[in-house]
Structure 1
């Protein structure tokens, strides 16, 4: 195995990931799906579907609510395309408050993965604004992953911010899938499970989504603030039982969920919900499918045989690594120059206080142990998040190869202990194998790229 061959694999894996990010440009996605002809909005959900006109002529007020990791990018894209004379007000809860912004929008720097004071303030301001929406109001909801924490407010007003933070922290570290986590969040929050739509029942509404979940689970995007909630209290209680969550919650949250079965949750078929969604439309601007397909196209341009396998979505990171590497080695027998792509997210159950890292770096280091058994072969594994942020680290992810474990030991690291402490970022940083993009303003789930050069 030559250093140059490994360097080329690292470069190819990074190029595949970078190309996928650039191909999923949010402004371009807006142009594909939306255009204005005067004060008429033309929706084009697909080239194969007839365009849908939405006249805004009769609306006296326009409200824009943007939340999630891509909130700023989505908001700017929409505002750049709104007709100049269309007056609007709105709320944006994203990763930061931008230096350049519209005076018509109230900006908040919501917390992630845990809510903060701005998360609460953004929710209150949004509910206040929507409360005054009538039939003469049209609302744009711009929703991306991360919105579950960046806009939050407990249904029970007695639950403090500190207890809400502890609630979110327990969920994130539980090992539950994102769909299961968001099922619980929907029954906790005043802005999730369709409640933002319910806050403005008579207004016209259009929700534009960046789907960081499987398309069959669109209700999990930011815990479904504007889509009908198809989950049930029984499903929520089942997640709480299976992951032993209630005993880990603060007392105020525990007491709330203990009484949940007595609550009259809004059913999707209730008159209130039917009224709220009567004038509601939805469109997915970008999804994980767009992301992985763009990665496929570039890998093919680099002359790799490409196979896509998303079967391990929401699996534990160790199980996902074992499965994908087994599939990878089987495929290499037939296709020596191979790119195995896998999108979605893996789960990590955190015990104790974690170090600096995230699920993608955990996956990469777990894969590195298996790759070390193929010391003379040209192999590489990249795992990274499309939002540019992996867990509590500043990295998007990392790249591993058959030399990773040995090089780490040579640098004085204990890879096994590092994995157990969830402290992978310092190790990959020292090796020069960390993937740093900075926040991308996008969020289309994670991508794993397994490469073989033959």
Structure 2
């Protein structure tokens, strides 16, 4: 479907690029080509396990492509509200789909993770396990670490998860900790599946597409260590129970490492990545006669600061035609972070996620630059924990806000991107997309 004219309908043009990026990563379009051949031994099982925001849609795509005469069973857990509509799920009858909380885990996720582990009991060399893994699986597979005579309690894991989300830790740092506080992540699910053949199908939502980071790598080797996890917790001043600290210090919660025998019969396939989605959007823009430049699919850092850097580049293009000539669109992806600022007594924190905070920093630095339009959104359709995918920035964003008595600096101080763009009518609301290749940012300069 052709994109709208970027000069007369810039918002619709950018939303078309976002839609193109999302569609590129939909399991229905990507998964079938990576499916393994079914086991042929008499009595062999095919077990499907999975977790992530896209896992229900991945299960749907798998069932649609799997031979009807070959046995299939299993369980996947996805985020609340991320189960495709019942009509779309009509074909899913052999794989059970359950829901749990994200980004902070809950008891439903703990129960689902334990059930997934229980399903691995009795697997043999003749059996096949297909693991469907996508972003969000770290929180959804919330089975706390266990040790002789005790275990990490769910409420402690929830508190640590909130602290990691609020302190500005990178996704790699967060998942290093999560793996060492888990009884199922960091390769432990693969260990439970041995000696069966394990095929992991991944949708990447992390910079660099490292399988050991995606959903905290439940079925792949973990190169990180207990010592690194403890250092991260200490660096961000996150308190942990003494019993947990002692076991991290002693290396007693170590994960299976590269080269371990439990991975000997494992295969891993990336079926969708952020780069592929950005390339699809770039191709669509070029087909519409607009030059497209992918800055990076691996951007990290504070969302507002990344927004300010993007704004400086867009202003240079708009004012000087450097380093790119107008009209053009600048595309980027990755996973930025938001560090929540402490608020005075009686002042509550605002609402919003990475995309919204990026847009606040972008708008602040663009200062109403003519000819610059932007859309930042999460490809799963949810920016943080709100109901919007992202937000728009247009040349009159600051002027309209100021007319309502809204200063962008105040909203940045409160981390209240949602409140700012809601008041302007500039939230992008799509609902869950049933995939997840992380941040999508597009800046159009005309």
Q: TM-score, normalised by structure 2?
A: 0.89
Question: 1:319 maps to which residue?
Answer: 305
Report what 2:248 is aligned to. 260
Distance 1:109 1:312, change over 3 A: closer
Partner of 2:345: none
Q: Distance in 2 between matches of 1:367 and 1:32?
A: 39
CA distance in 2, matches of 1:18, 1:285: 18
Q: Trace 1:169-180 onto structure 2 (pairs within 5 A).
A: 169-180=162-173
- Counterpart in the other structure of 1:15: 16
Q: 1:49 matched to which residue of 2?
A: none
Say how many residue pairs are matched: 423
- CA deviations over 1:62-120 (Å, ceiling 9, x no partner): 11102100011000100111111222221110124675575543432111011111100
Cα 1:282–1:423, aligned 2, differ >3 Å: closer, same or farther? Answer: same
> In structure 1, what is the equivalent of residue 350 of structure 2?
355
2:276 is the alignment partner of 1:290? yes
Q: Does 1:202 align with 2:201?
A: no
Cα distance between partner residues in 1 of 2:255 and 2:188: 9
Question: 2:291: which partner in 1?
Answer: 305
Contact 1:179 1:217 survives alignment (8 Å): no
Aligned match for 1:69, one of 50, 53, 57: 53
Question: Displacement, 1:5?
Answer: 8.2
CA distance in 2, matches of 1:423, 1:195: 38
SS in 2 for 1:443: coil
Q: Does the CA-based 8 Å contact 2:125-2:196 persist in structure 1?
A: yes
Contact 1:233 1:260 in 2 (8 A): yes
SS in 1 for 2:14: helix
Q: 1: distance between equivalents of 2:25 and 2:98?
A: 25
Cα distance, 1:403 vs. partner? 1.4
Q: Structure 1 pair 142/312, CA: closer, same or farther in 2 (3 Å)?
A: closer
Distance 1:94 1:210, change over 3 A: same
Segment of structure 1 superposing worse, 89-98 or 377-386: 89-98
The 1:278/1:384 distance shift into structure 2, 3 A limit, reads same
Alignment equivalent of 1:341, drawn from 331, 335, 346:
331
Pair 1:435 & 2:428 matched: yes
- Inter-partner Cα distance in structure 2 for 1:269 and 1:449: 37
Give 5+ residue unaligned stretches, structure 1.
Answer: 35-40, 43-53
Unaligned 5+ residue runs, structure 2? 343-347
The residue matched to 1:125 in structure 2 has which SS?
helix
Query: C-alpha separation between the residues in 2 aligned to 1:17 and 1:442?
Result: 13
Distance 1:133 1:452, change over 3 A: same
Which of 373, 378, 384 in structure 1 is aligned with 2:377? 384
Residue matched to 2:402:
409
Distance 2:166 2:153 in 1: 20
Shift of residue 166, structure 1, vs aligned partner: 1.1
Alpha-carbon distance in 2 for matches of 1:258, 1:327: 48
The CA distance in 1 between the partners of 2:297 and 2:69, in whole Å, is 48
Aligned-residue CA RMSD (Å): 2.2
Q: Would the alpha carbon gap of residues 89 and 31 (structure 1) be closer, same or farther in structure 2, given more than 3 Å must change?
A: closer
Aligned twin of 2:31: 30
Corresponding residue to 1:233 among 226, 237, 259: 226
Q: Give the structure 2 partner of residue 151 of structure 1.
A: 141
Shift in CA distance, 336/74, structure 1 to aligned 2, threshold 3 Å: same
* Structure 1 residues 55 and 91, CA gap change in structure 2 (3 angstroms): closer
